[in-house]
Structure 1
Amino acid sequence: MAIRMIAMDLDGTLLRDDKTLSAENIAAVKRAVDAGVVVVIASARPPRAVKAIYEALGLDTIQINYNGAAHYDQVRGRFVKHLPLEAGFVREMVNAARDLDEQVYMSLEVMDKWYTDGVDDSLLTETSKHFKPDLLGELDELFEEPVTKLMLLAPKERLAKVHAMVLERFGERIAIHMSDEHLIQIVDPSVDKEHSVRELAGYYGIDRVEVMAIGDAQNDAGMIAWAGLGVAVGNAWDEAKVAADEVVGSNEENGVAEAIERFVLGA
């Protein structure tokens, strides 16, 4: 069957290593949109860090943010879905992480707002490179609202111990996603890009076999495996490649454009 929906990751997939969009990828996405294909961004990023990309691609679809912890309607400027963690529970995880490693950094994403009690320039996320915290304060000031996503940051050799502890103590109550070696992303256990892509396919009236999902990282493997056509870019993690039906060029080689031309537009 023809592909009627594309769900695509951003970092490491659509974006080059310098986090820019290539002219080839922009043109291919726009050709797909012009052909009537529903193109959905599925990213760990918050809405504010997707906005410029979304506009450059000329999209009008609902986007998947925070790995699926939120769905955002960029056109109308509103969230249409939110699956947060309870603030007290997040505080418990942060305290446990700090007991193990008092220098681990903590960031909270709360409905497109960034709350933190400290920033380390060597441990930045892509979003924090371009946006300042909405609240930089003491720990006790930060836990007043349900938390969309908790991020724990430390050098990879130290983060491994924190990761293991969080899984052992809290693993049944959370979902953990990793796209960078210095960053753990923690969300509600029902959150996964797979679930979000499935839900939006239903919203747009598109069958599973008509969906192509393309990504590169561990947090993309679920949607790649679920889609009728799962695609991994050449630089993808092993988990994504194992889940994929096809492997295309890397993010530096316009792999998204290649996938669209080969599998969607039939060029």
Structure 2
Amino acid sequence: MEKAIFIDLDGTLMRKDLTISFENIEALRKAIQEGYRIVIVSGRPIRFVKHLADTIGQGIDTIGFNGAYSSNLIEYPISEDDVRALYDLFESNNVSVIFKSIDHIYANKEIIKHFIYPIANNVNVEYTEYCEIEQIKNKKIYKILGLYNNDETKVNNLLDKFDITKAFYVNKGFELTHKNANKGNAIKLYCLKNNISLKDSYMFGDDVNDETMFSLGGNNMVMGNATDDIKKYAADICDTCENNGVGKMIEKILREKNND
């Protein structure tokens, strides 16, 4: 069976400036040469994930929207009924949210500029501010990103009645996807399709949306910048994201493999 390295982006492989370091890229290329499949598994929209994968080179597979979309493998948009109900809920409670499709983002209020991401060289995703429900009701929405600009507990409680996947980030916001969409389910499907051995594969991550992949039974490589709640899943702790933690750990894995 083949082996794979599954890697989160934010706080893991990608720096705060939305780039991947030369050191990390070189380590990933070495892993490919050693026979590992490299899969970027991110909460980010799929076009941005593919754009970053292209900076590494050919042969990088991608899963976006926290496991809601991967070309020729997964497609889990949030239901139109849920999108409409959630839109009305957020509007009535003055919650700032962004609805994300494959190639567009729709904000119910003014867009926060750092949520506008590149999808190709010198090309950013298109966006709509102060969107109306009519503008998104027929679109495939794969992820909803919300911000806590009022009572965090109240917002979380309002979402309880929806049968969707939820990830809550303390003092920041939340992410919503289809009930079957999470990184763990996506990785299981990927491994089944590609005859990948989970027990011989590696999972790199740092945050709550990585917990489902850390629960699969692979080798969990948790970033040094992760919280203690996430570090409890770790088989090993990497250096921090900004200090090339992924690249250093991959180099260590390859050295140990070659010394066996």
- What's the TM-score bracket when you normalise by the shorter of the two chains? 0.7 to 0.9
Corresponding residue number in structure 1 for 2:212: 222
Total equivalences in the alignment: 253
- Residues 265 and 7 of structure 1: is their aligned pair in 2 closer, same or farther, counting only changes over 3 Å? farther
| Unmatched 5+ stretches in structure 1 | 73-78
1:137 to 131, 140, 145: 131
Tell me, in whole angstroms, the C-alpha distance in 2 between the residues paired with 1:48 and 1:178.
24
Distance 1:58 1:227 in 2: 28
In structure 2, the gaps of 5 or more residues are none
Aligned to 1:75: none
The structure-2 alpha-carbon separation of the partners of 1:177 and 1:164, relative to structure 1 and needing over 3 Å to count, comes to same
The one-letter code of the counterpart of 1:26 is I
- How far residue 135 of structure 1 moved from its aligned partner, in angstroms, is 7.7
Instruction: State the match for 2:199 in structure 1.
Output: 209
Report matched runs for 1:152-191 at 5 Å: 152-155=146-149, 158-167=151-160, 169-170=161-162, 173-178=163-168, 181-191=171-181
After TM superposition, the score normalised by the length of structure 1 is: 0.85
| Contact persistence 1:176–1:186 (CA under 8 A) | yes
**1:202, 1:166 → 2: CA distance?**
32
CA distance in 2, matches of 1:95, 1:243: 37
Q: 1:187 to 1:11 in 2, by over 3 A?
A: same
Q: Which moved more, 1:127-136 or 1:224-233?
A: 127-136
Cα shift at 1:38: 0.3
Aligned-partner Cα distance in 1 for 2:140–2:50: 23
Moved more, 243-252 or 125-134: 125-134
1:126 Cα shift?
6.1
Alpha-carbon distance, 1:51 to partner: 2.7
What letter corresponds to residue 108 of structure 1 in structure 2?
A: F
Distance 1:12 1:161 in 2: 27
Partner residue of 1:89 out of 68, 82, 85: 82
1:20 equivalent in alignment to 2:19: yes
Equivalent in the alignment of 1:53:
52
Measure how far apart 1:183 and its partner are. 2.9
Distance across 2 between alignment mates of 1:225 and 1:179:
19
* Deviation, structure 1 residue 213: 0.3
Tell me if the contact between 2:3 and 2:36 (Cα under 8 Å) persists in the aligned partners. Answer: yes
Structure 1 residue 127: Cα displacement: 3.2
- Cross-structure match for 2:222: 232
Q: Relative to 1, partners in 2 of residues 1:24 and 1:62: Cα closer, same or farther, differing over 3 Å?
A: closer
Contact 1:225 1:244 in 2 (8 A): no
TM-superposition CA deviations, 1:129-161 (whole Å, max 9, x none): 953316863233321234211222233x53442
Matched, 1:253 2:243: yes
Contact kept, 8 Å, 2:165 with 2:178, in 1: the verdict is: yes
Asked if the contact 2:221/2:238 (under 8 Å) is kept, the reply is: yes
Equivalent residue in structure 2 for 1:109, among 86, 95, 100: 100
Q: What is the deviation of 1:181?
A: 4.3
Identity over aligned residues, as a percent? 25
TM-score (norm 2): 0.87
Contact 1:179 1:219 survives alignment (8 Å): no
Contact 1:209 1:228 in 2 (8 A): yes
SS at match of 1:11: coil
Which segment is superposed worse, 86-95 or 188-197?
86-95
Change (3 A) 1:126 1:231: farther
Deviations 1:150-198 (A, max 9, x none): 222233x53442122212x22xx11112468433211111111011111
Contact 1:211 1:227 in 2 (8 A): no
1:128–1:39 CA distance, 2 compared to 1 (3 A):
closer
Q: How much has 1:228 moved relative to structure 2? A: 2.0
1:195 and 2:188 matched:
no
